[in-house]
Structure 1
Amino acid sequence: MSLSPGLPARLAIVDVETTGAHPVRDRVTEIAILRVEGGEVVARWESLVNPGMPIPGMIQDLIGITDAMVAAAPPFAALADTVAALLQDCVFVAHNARFDYGFIKNEFARAGRAFDAPVLCTVKLSRALHPEHHRHGLDALIERHGLVCDARHRAMGDSEALWQFARLVSDRFAPELVARAAERAMKAPAQPPGLPEGMLEAVPDGPGIYLFHAEAELPPAGRSERPLYLGRSLNLRGKVREHFSAAGAKGRDAELARQVRRVDWIETAGELGALLLEAELLKRLRPSGNRVPEGAEAAFALRL
């Protein structure tokens, strides 16, 4: 299968594994890059990365990358020249791409280097070409299209699966359809100017509480922090995005977009847990953007 002329001529298909979901606090532990030119892979590269911090046990169990495996690996700064050369003049392609892009951009920033590239998200590409399906995560694509992934949750295994997906859609759809889908997949989402790249993509899509902060860094241990705003949702990522969408950025949301520098979240088991936690945190933290009447008792209703 050849690559559709509807896709950009130069692609860098990228996957990163990390110590967690936060693009600022967490670090990269593995990178894989497939550089594609003229429809052919011209370079395959992968490396473990020493994150300079422990990998949480849950992440080690899920991905299979342990502290021992990265102990002798180079830090990102030592790999920066190689990564930059592989990404040069390419469209950055990844699944939930702004997440991977945010991690790479932040790693470059910590190494004292700027990095910018056009981004194509294969989640959005799948949604545009297959609107009849509701699930577009990588596991769903592998199952639906019979993609081969010899090492799921490892950087090269996932990158190879995305390369197969790119060739598959090239074979199944006319170039003009692929071109329109790619244009949609490359559209950057609305994002507050002071928020680090990848932050919104890191927010989970389950129920819980989200908090907007004016400070980019966590406060020192033992010091409390008053958030700008606190809210709850059954879909955290969707609700947070709603605050900063082009249509929603008015009044309070416009002011939040101007001030926010960090988003934190606490996942809950469901709606009731989110309601109870919201009431507790509103009373304790008293965010400046929420209306919390003095002396009022928290009240809520649960729709059954």
Structure 2
Amino acid sequence: MKDVKFAITDIETTGSGIKENKITEICIMVVQNGEVIDEYSSLVNPSQSIPLYIESLTGINDEMVGNAPQFYEIAEDVDKITKDCVFVAHNVNFDYNIIRSEFSSIGKEFKRKRLCTVRLTKKLIPGLFSYSLGNICTSINIPHPDRHRAGGDCEATVTLFQRCLSLDPEYEEITKLLNQRTAASYLPPNFKRSDFEKLPTSTGVYFFKDKDGIPLYIGKAKNIKNRIKSHFQERTNRKYKLMQATYSIDYELTGNELLALLRESELILKYYPKFNKAQKKPGRPYTLTSYHNQKGIEQFVLHKNRIAPVSWMKFYTRDEAIKFMEFLCEEFELCPKYCGLQSGVKYCDHYKITSCSGACRNEIDTEEYNDRVAKAIDYIGQFDDSCLLVEKGRTSKEKSFIYLNRGRYAGYGFIDHSYEFKHSEEFRNFLIPQKNSSYADRIVSRYLNTKKELVKIPLNGSETPAENDTEKLFEKAFYL
């Protein structure tokens, strides 16, 4: 291991991301057995303007790189000096991925083993206030005179690496870091591998947090650990910045995707995390209404813009609305023409529904047809009832419930299988009240309209057959 060559690398760029970020300066120093044996450095013409804030930081401007070689002209030199070396840098994924991107842009592959001096220093010199290169150098007295230039930062990183070698003479920690085969090799520089290993593989919401514990990003996942791993492996400017700012990851188990979606929406609205793209305001919903046409037939209509005296239901996508109306047609033997599924036709000729009631051909009495519509409206009415939607819990010994108050999301809770209900209102002992929102409306609406098998418990006087009173429904939902 002691004969391994390490290519200590530092670059300056046009920005602080990954994509569309171009190199303006590069320095590589090859270390073997603790000594520098080779060195390469060059300014690089990025073929684009250098932003003013970058010029202020690095001192590199457009004039300085005007006659410098472009990356394709130095690619062979970079490839040659780093060949058969371990690629080393402070926050290695940044430098490595930028260089890889530059090689990719000229149709070449760049692949090296990587070692991060941030992670190595945390292992060998724990307890420092900060692990940025400048702060480490200040803390342990490493000269760093030419900051934010590739040569100065590279020299400081070499000295830091040599200091680490003196603390790890048998290369034990270096070997461990090089032999990582999990997502840990992609971990944010300030995030502990042990914390990653503790993440659950269950359904819930997760929080990327900064050093003060403030949420930077909130998401939901069926498998929290796998989803977070995929974040680590994404290579975008936004994701890179998120990883650099992340110090810890927290999570909240929900047991099922419906509650995970609702909690994600609630928490984003509560914290407005910096790296969450603002939740798009749901578009104006499709409203299902009805009116009596000239024949006296009660006709359903789907619309987005009209103000109607009655509103039976709302849908947030046209596809959901159409599927639901197709179901009503078939379930209650209605006419597609009078359900908003066909227009501009004299008689029904629906591609899917072939069992038209005959209302469009005057083959059924208007009163009889309207009775069918009334039954369909009664069916729709159940979506506005107060109820509990019962779903999987966080463990096999509990169930979760989502409380809908008159069809609107009002909270959630978890109930252990061992609890015995004496009255339906006892669910309130476990209820965690929540505020409704247009996002929650959309989530619940989609769930109700698309979920094939619902476990639903009516509340507040909703009529149920005598043999299936509410308490028995609770027993069936929570204990079977």
TM-score, structure 2 as length reference: 0.44
Q: Residues 31 and 37 of structure 2 are in contact (CA less than 8 Å); yes or no, is this contact kept in structure 1?
A: yes
Paired residues of 1:129 and 1:181 also in contact (CA < 8 A)? no
User: SS at the partner of 1:152?
Assistant: coil
Q: Compared with structure 1, are the counterparts of its residues 285 and 120 closer, same or farther at alpha carbon in structure 2 (3 Å cutoff)?
A: farther
Q: 1:175 is matched by which residue type in structure 2?
A: P
Q: Could you tell me which residue of structure 1 aligns to residue 5 of structure 2?
A: 10
What is the Cα deviation at residue 180 of structure 1? 2.0
Q: Return the alpha-carbon distance in structure 2 between the equivalents of residues 114 and 58 of structure 1.
A: 31
Name the amino acid aligned to 2:91: N
User: In structure 2, what is the equivalent of residue 149 of structure 1?
Assistant: 144
Report the CA distance between 1:133 and its aligned residue. Answer: 2.2
CA distance in 2, matches of 1:166, 1:157: 14
Pick from 26, 33, 36: which aligns with 2:31?
Answer: 36
Work out whether residues 54 and 67 of structure 1, in 8 Å CA contact, stay in contact via their aligned partners in 2. Answer: yes
Which segments of 5 or more consecutive residues in structure 2 lack a partner in the other structure?
A: 192-205, 243-267, 284-437, 444-480
The structure-2 alpha-carbon separation of the partners of 1:233 and 1:39, relative to structure 1 and needing over 3 Å to count, comes to closer
Q: Which residue of 2 aligns with 1:264?
A: 238
Alpha-carbon deviation of 1:135? 1.4
| Structure 1 moving runs of 4+ over 4 Å | 231-234, 238-244, 259-263, 271-274, 276-280
User: Does the CA contact (< 8 Å) of 2:100 and 2:110 recur in 1?
Assistant: yes
Aligned to 1:101: 96
The RMSD of aligned alpha carbons is: 4.2
Question: For 1:279 and 1:12, how far apart are their aligned partners in 2?
Answer: 36
Query: Structure 1 residues 158 and 188, CA, compared in 2 at 3 Å: closer, same or farther?
Result: farther
1:71-82 equivalences under 5 Å are: 71-82=66-77
Aligned-residue sequence identity (percent) comes to 30
SS of 1:248 mapped into structure 2: helix
Give per-residue Cα distances to partners, 1:233-288, cap 9 Å, x unaligned.
Answer: 5439x9679989x96116xx68x76x977463799xxx9996287898203489xx
Please tell me whether residue 175 in structure 1 is matched to residue 169 in structure 2: yes
SS of alignment partner, residue 282 of structure 1: coil
Q: Which amino acid aligns with 1:282?
A: Q
Q: Which region of structure 1 is more displaced relative to structure 2, 20-29 or 117-126? A: 20-29
Cα displacement string for residues 137-182 of structure 1 (whole angstroms, at most 9, x for unaligned residues): 10111101111122101001111111111222233x2523x42245
State the structure with bigger RCO (CA 8 A, min sep 6), 1 or 2: 1
Decide which of 180, 184, 187 is 1:187's aligned counterpart.
180
CA distance in 2, matches of 1:150, 1:168: 18
DSSP 3-state at the match of 2:37:
strand
Matching residue of 1:92: 87
Equivalent residue in structure 2 for 1:292, among 430, 435, 439? 439
Distance 1:105 1:188 in 2: 20
The CA distance in 2 between the partners of 1:260 and 1:45, in whole Å, is: 30
- Counterpart amino acid of residue 187 in structure 1: Q
How many Å separate the matches in 2 of 1:293 and 1:272?
A: 11
Q: Which residue of 2 aligns with 1:54?
A: 49
Q: Which residue of structure 1 aligns with residue 160 of structure 2?
A: 165
Give yes or no for the alignment of 1:281 onto 2:281: no
Tell me the secondary structure at the aligned position of residue 65 of structure 1: coil
Matched to 2:94, the amino acid is F
* Deviation at residue 64 of structure 1 after TM alignment: 0.9
- In structure 2, the partner of 1:226 is none
> 1:184-219: CA deviations, max 9, x gaps?
36636629xxxxx99x869x99xxxxxxxxxxxxxx
- TM-score normalised to structure 1 length: 0.67
**CA distance in structure 1 between the aligned counterparts of 2:218 and 2:442, rounded to whole angstroms:** 32
How far apart, CA to CA, are the structure 2 residues paired with 1:45 and 1:112? 23
